[in-house]
Amino acid sequence: MSKRKILSLSLILFCLFLATTYLVGTGRFGSIDRQITILFQSLIGRSLDVPLSFFSLLASSEIIMIILAVIAALVYFRYKKVFFGLGLIFAVYFFELIGKFFIYHPGPPKEFFRYDLPFVFPSAYVHTNYSFPSGHVSRTFFIAVILFFIVKKLGTFFHRKYFVSCLLFVVCSIMVVSRIYLGEHWFSDVLGGIFLGSSLGLLAFIQYHREIS
């Protein structure tokens, strides 16, 4: 895929994020959000409360920064260049905080809450007014998109690229399900996170392509 096509896709995804933001801000997702949360919690057994709670920790800011540091180190050791595109993670945080402080969208009530671990990372104690978009999902998709295109660009054997692609898809899918099932976020929060993280992840890869080429 050419850089122009990647940039176009990034812009489309960001426009979808803005459209979702508007719909959330005008209360269009209220009924859908609640129905999807009830559906997820009725289909998934309570035996998965702990596994999904543990999995959700993988997208905490502390773990994400470690993952980004590892990616930056690997790129540097391979190409002797700094991957400045990873700095777009701060744009992810910027839009996340703007949404969570200014877009009126209360998160799921306590009756839906199913997080079941005796600890959280310090970043969990940062409280915001509202819940849109999901930071966990935004960060997960940001990294997943970058890794997908990096692996594709490296030109590894097909079965390895296929395995990595499937692994990234599974991780993203579980993260999406976990945020809704655990009652941490509504479907609309997750949808906004997908669009935001994917859009900025594509921009980060464009920067990677420019720096490494």
Would you kindly state where each structural domain of the chain is located, as residue ranges? 3-212
Q: Which two tokens stand for residue 78?
A: 């391979």
pLDDT digits (tens, 9 = 90+) for 67-123: 999 999 998 998 888 899 999 999 999 999 999 999 999 999 999 999 999 988 888
* Cβ 124 vs Cβ 148: under 8 Å: no
**Burial of 186 by CB count in 10 Å (0-12 exposed, 13-18 middle, 19+ buried)?**
buried
* Cβ 140 vs Cβ 63: under 8 Å: no
The pLDDT value recorded for residue 156 is 57
Q: Is the pLDDT of residue 212 over 80?
A: no
Q: How far apart are CA 3 and CA 66, in angstroms?
A: 28
- pTM, full prediction: 0.94
CB count in 10 Å sphere of residue 147:
19
25-60 CB burial, b ≥16 within 10 A, e <16: beeebeeebeebbeebbeebeeebbeebbebbbbbb
pLDDT digits (tens, 9 = 90+) for 157-206: 556 778 888 999 999 999 999 999 999 999 999 999 999 999 999 999 99
Across residues 27-40, what is the average pLDDT? 96
Confidence band of 50 (pLDDT split at 50, 70, 90): very high
